[in-house]
């Protein structure tokens, strides 16, 4: 190995070059590289090559973690969208006829869901200038007494807003719960099926 002697000035210059590049890396710029003369065998040249290698692998890691982060953020956005979709799907409100809202309820009915339903239904009644709302609970097997009570309150609140409230699809077990609770049902119109309720409303409004 041939020894190449450098002047102090040259050494200082190379070192300051290296420091400048490292400073760039420190600020997040991974694009700069130190110039290496392939014929140069000096220790400084191999230091340069080492630094370049380090920057290259750092930049690869950096771009990898950036893409992971982007992926993660995208997934989080998807989860947020799905959450909104679940909320919306768990209380679907549709306008099945002019001025008639239908609220089909399926699945497990707990207190949180009944509260959520009330607020979205009352809001929809006002927004859509509804005259009649049909709450169909064919898809519900059981309800706790408190939830049944809340349903009746919801029906009364709908009436306060100037719309009719019709309950349909009550199964025998829920009917028993309602009767056992001694709830006054005179304010609430009930029909066996959604079909019947809608038919009656349409016939009445045609006349």
Partner 1 sequence: MPVCEVRDPVDVFHVQRSVSKAAAALGFEKRACSELAIVGSELASNILKYGVSGHVEIAAVEDEHGPGIALVATDRGPPFRNLDAAMRDGWDDRGPIDPVDMLKRKGIGGGLGAIARLSHSFRVEQLDGGKRIHVVRYLVPPRKKRRSERTKA
Question: Which residues would be at the binding site for partner 1 (CB under 8 A)?
Answer: 82-83, 86-87, 107-116, 118-119, 141-147, 149-150, 173
Q: How far is the CB of 182 from partner 1 (least distance, A)?
A: 15
E strand or H helix that includes residue 163: none
Is 34 or 163 the residue whose CB approaches partner 1 more closely? 163
Closest distance to partner 1 from the beta carbon of 111 (Å): 4
DSSP 56-101: HHHHHHHHHHHHHHHHHHHHHHHHHHHHHHHHHHHS--EEEETTEE
Tell me how far the alpha carbon of residue 190 is from its chain's centroid: 35
List phi, psi (to 5°) of 191.
Answer: -135, 155
Cβ 120 to partner 1 shortest distance, Å: 10
* Nearest residue (CB) to partner 1, 4 versus 115: 115
Q: Which is nearer to partner 1, 10 or 111 (CB)?
A: 111
User: Using an 8 Å Cβ cutoff, are 134 and 140 in contact?
Assistant: no
Please tell me the distance from the alpha carbon of residue 80 to that of residue 93, in angstroms, as a whole number.
21
Q: Measured from the CB of residue 117, what is the shortest distance to partner 1 in angstroms? A: 10
Q: Which is nearer to partner 1, 148 or 166 (CB)?
A: 148
CA atoms of 152 and 183, how far apart (whole Å): 8
* Shortest Å distance, C-beta 154 to partner 1: 10
Task: Record the tokens describing residue 128, joined without a space.
Answer: 């859509």
Nearer to partner 1, 140 or 189 (CB): 140
Within the chain, strands assigned E span 94-97, 100-106, 132-139, 164-168, 189-191
Closest approach of partner 1 to the CB of residue 175, in Å: 14
* SS3 of residue 38 by DSSP: coil
Question: Based on CB atoms, which residue is closest to partner 1, 4 or 108?
Answer: 108
């Amino acid at each position: 190995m041939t020894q190449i002697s450098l002047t102090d000035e040259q050494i200082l210059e190379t070192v300051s070059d290296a420091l400048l590049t490292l400073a760039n890396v420190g600020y997040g710029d991974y694009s700069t590289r130190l110039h290496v003369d392939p014929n140069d065998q000096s220790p400084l040249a191999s230091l340069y090559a080492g630094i370049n290698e380090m920057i290259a692998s750092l930049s690869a890691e950096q771009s990898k973690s950036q893409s992971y982060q982007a992926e993660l953020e995208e997934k989080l956005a998807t989860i947020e969208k799905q959450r909104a979709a679940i909320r919306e799907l768990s209380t679907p409100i549709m306008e099945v006829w002019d001025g008639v809202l239908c609220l089909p309820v399926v699945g497990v009915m707990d207190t949180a869901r009944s509260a959520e339903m009330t607020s979205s239904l009352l809001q929809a009644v006002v927004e859509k200038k509804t005259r009649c709302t049909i709450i169909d609970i064919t898809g519900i097997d059981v309800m706790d007494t408190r939830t049944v009570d809340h349903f009746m309150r919801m029906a009364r609140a709908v009436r306060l807003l100037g719309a009719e409230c019709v309950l349909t699809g009550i199964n025998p077990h829920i009917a028993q719960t309602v009767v056992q609770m001694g709830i006054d049902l005179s304010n609430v119109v009930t029909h066996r099926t959604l079909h019947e309720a809608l038919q009656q409303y349409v016939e009445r409004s045609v006349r």
